[in-house]
Amino acid sequence: MTGSSTVHSGIIVKKYGGTSVATPERISAIAEGVAQQVGGVRGLIVVLSAMGKSTDELVALAHQVSRRPAGREMDLLLATGEQVSVSLLGLALQDRGVAAVSLTAAQCGIRTDSAFNVARIQSIDTERILAELEAGRVVIVTGFQGVTTDHDITTLGRGGSDITGVAVAVAVGADACEICTDVDGVLTADPNLVPAARLWPEISYEAAIEMASSGAKVLHPRAAELCMAYDIPIHVRSSFHAREGTWIRGSDDMVMEQAEVVGVSSDRKIAKITLREVPDEPGLAARVFQDLAGEDICVRLIIQSASSEGRGRITFVLDEEFAEQAAHLVEQWKSAGIASDGIVDHDVAKISIVGSRLASTPGLAARMFSALAREEINIDCISSSEMKVACVIAGEHVERAVRAVHDEFFPPEPAR
């Protein structure tokens, strides 16, 4: 990996999440902030999520008319949320005398593949964006959406505005992408669960990717991957105050050496599927995961246990939103003799410690397991890599588990 480029474009991308634009007051507050910053940079691009929980509300609406809403029409619906927030910010800026233009993904050429609901950005035609910046306008872009070569509207998957923010930053060669959110930056744990969680001034791309993929809500894992691939630093910061948050950048550019354990994260929005009595034959695991891939279902964790008497067990964890689709596949696998039974368990959660050299540093996993044991929390499955040790536990214990494991690695400072 090369170090960050020393040529500065003077362009900054700021992405605001749903809570940051939840009300007209919040949108006005962002307009105020942007109005103050606009003179100081060559170009300002603002990427927005939909207001508050409006995407959830659109999903709920779709469920009222369809049993399994998905595909093209679903994306056309979901993409409307971001159109509301960008146009409102455009109006708010113009009201303050700031030249601004709001653009949908189609208008600014964010081209994706046609995997509706989980589309991937293929290219961004920056011509319009750059022309608007050149004309002195703040450019406001809808997050989360794209357009196919056939002019169909797509969405990038829940939380996808982060991906848009970073992809736009990459495409225009921005100096940085700011992720403006409702927490102060990347912390050692979710501050809503652990009020004493500490803020990191900087972390590596690798640690950010692991934190994000193990459930930390601050950043979409695909956004962190993009930044790493193109070496665009991200600044995760609060949209409620001006203090510095966390810089995510290449480890070569970091001032400090990264700690072994960077954080404790958890994820309740998962489901666990256990396939029992899977015949011990080559090709069956391949078939199961091909079928899942065929439906664009992302799997978070896979555990296969050694077989006894010619039959084994495959357990995997997936995002809750895919559980229903996967349950359909389970029925097919049962009829095809791939498993005698398949159990879908919704009441589970995953807790992870994330960092570097985890599996190869003696005692770190043991400390995590001991912290859970002291709370008498049973561990259902364990998986580990150099960057992560993850445990699946009963969903109801997750908050207590996070506090206990966080206290183990980041002991509360003694009162003075």
SS3 content of the chain, % helix, strand, coil (to 5): 35, 30, 35
Listed residue (243, 230, 72) closest to 146, CA to CA: 72
Phi/psi for 56 (5° steps) reads -60, -40
Cα-Cα-Cα-Cα dihedral of 34, 35, 39, 44, to 10°? 30
- Return the number of the residue (54 or 148) whose C-beta is nearest Mg ion: 54
At its nearest, how many Å lie between ligand ASP and the CB of residue 318? Answer: 17
Give the helix/strand (H/E) hosting 344: strand 341-355
At its nearest, how many Å lie between ligand ASP and the CB of residue 63? Answer: 15
Amino acid letter at 10? G
Contact map string, positions 45 to 64, toward ligand ASP, x by CB under 6 A:
----xx----x---------
Within 64-123, which residues bind ligand ASP (CB under 6 A)? Answer: 81
Can residue 159 be called a binding residue for ligand ASP (CB under 6 A)? yes
Taking CB under 6 A as the binding criterion, the range among 156-164, 208-216, 263-271, 290-298 that sits at the site for ligand ASP is 156-164
* 83, 102, 112, 161: which one binds ligand ASP (CB under 6 A): 161
Taking CB under 6 A as the binding criterion, the range among 155-163, 199-207, 242-250, 284-292 that sits at the site for ligand ASP is 155-163
* Cα–Cα distance measured from residue 181 to residue 236, given in angstroms and rounded to the nearest whole number: 7
Number of helical H runs and strand E runs in the chain: 12, 18
At its nearest, how many Å lie between Mg ion and the CB of residue 318? Answer: 20
- Return the number of the residue (53 or 72) whose C-beta is nearest ligand ASP: 53
Would you say 218 and 212 are in contact if contact means Cβ atoms under 8 Å apart?
Answer: yes
At its nearest, how many Å lie between ligand ASP and the CB of residue 276? Answer: 34
Taking CB under 6 A as the binding criterion, the range among 157-165, 306-314, 338-346, 360-368 that sits at the site for ligand ASP is 157-165
- Return the number of the residue (158 or 334) whose C-beta is nearest ligand ASP: 158
Buried b (16+ CB within 10 A) or exposed e, 39-68: eeeebbbbbbbbbbebbeebbeebeeeeee
Contact map string, positions 13 to 52, toward ligand ASP, x by CB under 6 A:
----xx------------------------------xx--
- Return the number of the residue (159 or 215) whose C-beta is nearest ligand ASP: 159
- Return the number of the residue (159 or 233) whose C-beta is nearest Mg ion: 159
Residue 192, classified by CB atoms within 10 Å of its CB into exposed (0-12), middle (13-18) or buried (19+), is: exposed
- Return the number of the residue (161 or 204) whose C-beta is nearest ligand ASP: 161
Listed residue (248, 239, 247, 249) closest to 180, CA to CA: 239
Phi-psi region at 318: left, alpha or beta (left = phi > 0; alpha = psi -120 to 50): beta
- Return the number of the residue (50 or 292) whose C-beta is nearest ligand ASP: 50
At its nearest, how many Å lie between Mg ion and the CB of residue 225? Answer: 16
Residues near Mg ion (CB under 5 A) are 17, 159
Binding interface with ligand ASP (CB under 6 A) = 17-18, 49-50, 55, 81, 143-144, 158-161
